[in-house]
Structure 1
Amino acid sequence: MSIKVQLAVDMTCQSCVDDVTQVLSKVPGVDDISVTLADKHVVVTGSAGPSSLVTALKTSGRSAVVRGAGSTSSGNIGAAVCIFEEGRALANSATRGLARFVQVTEDTCFVDVSLSGIPDGLHGLAIHECGDLSSVPESCGAHWNPEGVEHAGRDSGHRGDLGNIEVRGGWGEMAFETDRFKVWEIIGRSMVVGAAADDLGQGQGAASKVDGGSGPGILAGVVARSAGLFENDKLVCACSGNTLWTEQRLVDQGHRL
C-alpha cells in the first residue's frame, strides 16, 4: 500500500533541494519526491513510514516536521497521532516518541511508530480502552478488545494488540498496515508501551492471555485526530511563535510538546 507524506523541511536554496532529494531517495520504500522550495514543502510517495523519512533527514542534519499524510488514491479518509510521554502522572514528563495513523482505504490503516529514550529490547505495544493518563497504566483500562477474545498478536488477538516494537541504541521504529481497526475507532483511546516484551499469548502464566506479560506501562499517549494531507500548511507555531523546526528541536531535547 502506498501513502503520501507531506513534510516541512528547512530549506533556503536549490542546493538544499538537491540534498533533501538525495537523502530521501535512499530511504527504502520511497517511490517519488516532490519539492517546492518557496513553501519549504516536500511530498514523498511510497511505502516508507513518516518516521523513517524524518529520521533520514535528521541524520543528514536537516530539520523536518511531518505536516500531513494520506492515501495516494482515496483522499483524506482519516488521520490521527499519539504522542508518547513517560511516567505515571504525565503532566511534567518528557516526550518519547509518537505513533501516526493514516486510513489509506476504507478497510486499511497504515500505522507508523517511533520511540526514543527507553531501554533497548522488545516492548509490547497496545491500544487501551480509555484515554485517561492520570495514572498509567491503570487509568488507561484494559487492552481494547470489543470482541472479548484472548490476547495474541496483532493479526488475531485483541483489536488493540500491536505486537512488539524493538528498541536499539535508544531508538525504535516500525510501520505496518492493518485491517483490524479504522482511525475513527481509536481516536480518544490511549496507546501504552510496556516495560517488557509481549509474548503474544504464548506464555505459561495467566498474564500471557491478558497483556502478554509485557509488564507495567512506561510510555503512554492519547490518540487524537490530526491533519490529513495538505490540511496543515503552517510554518510557525501559533502557541509559541517558534518555527516548526525550532519546536521540533525542543522536542528532540526532551521538552514536552
Structure 2
Amino acid sequence: MPIKVQLAVDMTCQSCVDDVTRVLASVPGVSKVDITLADKLVVVEGTARPSAVLNAVKESGRAAVVRGTGSSIGGNIGAAVCILEECIGGATRGLVRFVQVDETTCFVDVTASGIGEGAHGVAIHECGDLSQVPGSCGRRWSHGELGELVVSGGQGDLAFETDQFKVWEIIGRSVVVGGAGGSSGGPTAGPLAGVVARSAGLFENDKQVCACSGNSLWTEQRLVDQGHRL
C-alpha cells in the first residue's frame, strides 16, 4: 500500500533541495517527493520503507527526523516517542520514535550515544516504572525485542519496520537499552531507559523549535547525541 513519510530535514538553500531530491529519486519505491524549503519539510510518497527514506537523507550528510507516516489515502494512525536517560544521573542519551505506517507495520527509529562501543540490546518492557531500572520495568514484553543498537565512534542508530506490535499497544511501557541480557558497558551509569508516550503524527506538528528548550529539532538531536538533558 502506498504511504506518505514526512521528514524534517535541515536545509538552507535550493542546492539542499536539489541534493535531497536527487538522493530520494534513487530510493526504490519512491514515486513522489514534495519539499518545502521554508518549513524544512519533505514529504515522500510511494512504497519505500520509512527507514530507507530516512537513511538515504542522512547519508546525504543532512540531519533528518521522521515526523510521521500515514497512508496516501488516510491520515495519521499513531505515533509515540521515548526519551532514553541514564538510570543514575538522568543524562539524556537517546531517543526512540515509533510511527505506525499502516494497520500492521510500525516504523522504529532508535538513536543513542555515550553508551560505549559495540552492540547493546534494546527491548520494550511490560511496565513504565523507572524507579529501579531494569527490575522495576517488569519482564521484557513478549513482542518487544527490538534487536541490537551498534555504537561506533560514540554514536549508534537503528531504524527498521516491524509487524510485531502496534503503537497503541506500547504506550506507557518502557524501553530499556543495555538491560539484562544486553550490554550496558561504556561510560553510562547503568542501562538507559524511558517511558513510551504518545506524540504527534503525520502533518499534526510542523514545529521546528521546541517551546520548552528553544532548540531546533536538529539541535535537540545533537544535544541528545552529546548526552544533555532536554
| Whole-Å separation in 2 of the counterparts to 1:83 and 1:54 | 23
Give the equivalent residue in structure 1 for 2:159.
Answer: 174
Task: Measure, in 2, the Cα distance between the counterparts of 1:117 and 1:31.
Answer: 38
Distance in 2 (CA, whole Å) between partners of 1:214 and 1:82 is: 19
Asked whether 1:14 is paired with 2:14, we answer yes
| Pairing partner for 1:188 from 172, 177, 199 | 172
Which residue does 2:97 correspond to in 1? 100
Please point out which of 109, 114, 138 is paired with 1:112. Answer: 109
Within-5 A mapping of 1:59-78: 60=61, 62-78=62-78
3-state SS, counterpart of residue 68 of structure 2: strand
Over 6 Å off, 4+ runs = none
Distance of aligned partners of 1:162 and 1:17 in 2 relative to their CA distance in 1, 3 Å threshold = closer
Amino acid corresponding to residue 202 of structure 2 in structure 1? L
**What does residue 123 of structure 2 align with?**
126
**d(CA) in 1 for partners of 2:26, 2:135:** 42
Give the TM-score normalised by structure 1: 0.72
Q: Given the superposition, is the C-alpha separation of residues 220 and 32 from structure 1 closer, same or farther in structure 2, using an over 3 Å criterion? A: farther
Query: Which residue of structure 1 aligns with residue 187 of structure 2?
Result: none
1:31 to partner: Cα distance: 5.0
Q: CA deviation at 1:29?
A: 6.4
C-alpha displacement at 1:27, in angstroms?
5.8
Equivalent AA in structure 1 for residue 210 of structure 2: C
Match of 1:161 in 2: 145
Q: Who is 2:88 aligned against?
A: 89
Instruction: Determine the C-alpha separation between the residues in 2 that align with 1:181 and 1:77.
Output: 13
Q: Is the 8 A contact 1:29 1:48 kept in 2?
A: no
Unpaired segments ≥5 residues, structure 2: 185-189
SS of alignment partner, residue 132 of structure 2: coil
User: What do residues 155-177 of structure 1 show as CA deviations (whole Å, max 9, x unaligned)?
Assistant: xxx22233334334442423122
Q: Which amino acid aligns with 2:95?
A: L
Contact between 1:27 and 1:48, CA under 8 Å: does it hold in 2?
Answer: no
Write the distance in 1 (CA, Å) between the matches of 2:75 and 2:129. 31
For structure 1, the residue ranges without an aligned partner over 5 or more in a row are 145-157, 196-210
Q: Which has the higher strand share?
A: 2
- Residue 250 of structure 1 corresponds to which residue in structure 2? 223
CA contact (8 A) 1:167 1:173 kept: no
Aligned to 1:47: 49
Alignment RMSD, CA only?
2.9
Counterpart Cα distance in 1 of 2:64 and 2:148: 27
Residues paired across the two proteins, number: 221
Can you list the C-alpha shifts for 1:27-64, whole angstroms capped at 9, x where unaligned?
A: 6765542211232221134213275256335xx2x343
Alignment correspondent of 1:138: 135
Aligned counterparts of 1:174 and 1:247: Cα–Cα separation in 2: 19
